[in-house]
């Protein structure tokens, strides 16, 4: 018997997902655990696998559409089976979860929370949100998310041309719509234009929530140290000369990851987390490396960084960074780090204080290399310096402990050979 397949909740924090690509097409035979599609969540691009066996009779949403969990995305059944009744249910706004009966209430509640000041304003035309809305006698196809966006923007769906399957109106149709009924701000003469309002992505909302939680619940304090980076830069040049024949190279950041990992072994009190009412002293050194992407920041983890060579760290960091930007990382590759490093030196930032990534106890912020005169053996010579600022969770790391770690870290980068000891 044919059944409607809904978008699954692929991560605990997933509130919506974007269907990036279908890997099956209509008419294909589907087995249990077959890969149906790739879905971008707040964490990464995840695999959407089938829980059922049958034939993919109908694809209900197009690639690029953003949906809430349990919204219908496909129909699976027997070859040639009549699915007209199921299509009618989908057109009427049915979802696949029992909780869907309260979806309109949830949408209304969400809209009320988002815009309390508009509670007494005139509501949008009901026709813009009705699942049974028709145009020229034909039912207009749209998901609950699309109907909510239409209400928020005061758009009558009868005026919107759908570009999805069977003319279904999808999210990008609403976002690009500029016709009758669209609330487009036009500044009167003599007034400045209103700001462009952009709905935050799932990833950006998760980042906002976690960083707000960090600053509100974690007692941050900051320690800054200035170090001679010349010896480490020279060590990097020698390593790259040795690796040239293999077509590989290491970055200064790779060396800093290794140096921080070795320093954490020498001052293990910093390699700890506050969880509940306990201090967890980690027995592994897993370094989270901040990677900037278009939608924010991701922190893939280099496992056992203290036990790996610099070349191996370099290869792993490059792979993690590429997959982070392509949103191909799995959740387990971005969680359970024990210490973080964030480097803004490539942007010319000399010094900054980063926000701790809970439940880690500290994060090291790396500035740019400064070329400036220094005194060496009684003479003024050109020098290369770098500032490092460590944000510490005071529940875990006392000031003297943090200072001992930075002293050990400085000793390592100013004497790179000590990393081998």
Helix (H) or strand (E) holding 47: strand 45-49
394 is catalytic: yes
Contact 266, 258 (CB under 8 A): no
Q: Using CA of residue 114, residue 116, residue 121, residue 125, what is the dihedral sign?
A: positive
d(CA 76, CA 83): 9
Q: How many CB atoms lie within 10 A of CB 250?
A: 23
Element (H, E) at 237: helix 230-243
Single out the residue of 292, 287, 297 nearest to residue 254, CA to CA: 287
Give 358's DSSP letter: T
Q: Residue 392 forms beta bridges with which residues?
A: 221, 362
* Distances 238 to 94, 233, 244, 250, 385 between C-alpha atoms, Å: 64, 9, 10, 10, 19
Q: What is the DSSP letter of 305?
A: G
Alpha carbon separation from 85 to 68, 138, 147 (Å, rounded) = 23, 16, 22
Q: Which of 159, 220, 280, 394 does the annotation list as catalytic? A: 394
Instruction: Tell me the C-alpha distance between 290 and 260, whole Å.
Output: 14
Give just the sign of the alpha carbon dihedral 183, 186, 192, 193: positive
Are 364 and 287 in contact by the 8 Å Cβ rule? The answer is no
328/338 Cα distance (integer angstroms)? 22
- Show the tokens assigned to 322: 């590429």
Structure tokens at 411: 């000793």
**Could you give the residue numbers annotated as active site?**
394
């Amino acid at each position: 018997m044919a059944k409607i397949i809904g978008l699954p909740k692929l991560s605990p924090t997933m509130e919506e997902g974007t269907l990036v690509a279908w890997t099956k097409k209509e008419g294909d035979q589907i087995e249990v655990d077959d890969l149906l599609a790739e879905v971008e969540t707040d964490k990464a691009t995840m695999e959407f696998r089938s829980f059922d066996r049958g034939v993919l009779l109908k694809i209900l949403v197009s690639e690029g559409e953003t949906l809430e969990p349990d919204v219908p995305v496909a129909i699976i059944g027997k070859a040639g089976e009549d699915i007209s009744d199921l299509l009618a249910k989908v057109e009427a706004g049915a979802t696949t979860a029992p909780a869907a009966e309260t979806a309109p209430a949830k949408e209304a509640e969400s809209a009320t929370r988002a815009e309390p000041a508009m509670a007494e304003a005139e509501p949008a035309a009901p026709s813009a949100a009705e699942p049974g809305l028709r145009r020229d006698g034909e039912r207009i196809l749209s998901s609950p998310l699309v109907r909510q966006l239409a209400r928020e923007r005061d758009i009558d769906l009868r005026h919107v041309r759908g570009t999805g399957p069977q003319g279904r109106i999808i999210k990008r149709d609403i976002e690009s719509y500029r016709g009758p009924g669209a609330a487009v701000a036009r500044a009167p003469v003599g007034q400045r234009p209103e700001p462009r309002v952009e709905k935050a992505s799932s990833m950006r909302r998760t980042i906002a929530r976690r960083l707000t939680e960090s600053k509100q619940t974690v007692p941050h304090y900051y320690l800054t140290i200035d170090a001679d980076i010349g010896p480490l830069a020279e060590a990097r040049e020698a390593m790259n000369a040795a690796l040239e024949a293999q077509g590989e190279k290491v970055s200064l950041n790779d060396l800093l990851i290794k140096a921080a990992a070795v320093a954490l072994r020498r001052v293990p009190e910093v390699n700890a987390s506050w969880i509940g009412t306990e201090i967890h002293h980690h027995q592994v050194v897993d370094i989270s490396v901040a990677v900037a992407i278009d939608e924010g920041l991701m922190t893939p983890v280099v496992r056992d960084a203290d036990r790996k060579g610099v070349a191996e760290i370099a290869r792993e960091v490059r792979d993690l960074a590429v997959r982070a930007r392509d949103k191909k990382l799995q959740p387990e590759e971005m969680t359970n780090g024990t210490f973080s490093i964030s480097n803004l030196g490539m942007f010319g930032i000399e010094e900054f204080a980063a926000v701790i990534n809970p439940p880690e106890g500290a994060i090291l912020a790396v500035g740019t290399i400064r070329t400036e005169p220094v005194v060496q053996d009684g003479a003024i010579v050109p020098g290369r310096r770098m500032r490092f600022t460590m944000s510490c969770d005071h529940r875990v790391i006392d000031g003297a402990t943090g200072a001992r770690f930075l002293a050990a870290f400085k000793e390592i980068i100013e004497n790179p050979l000590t990393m081998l000891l």
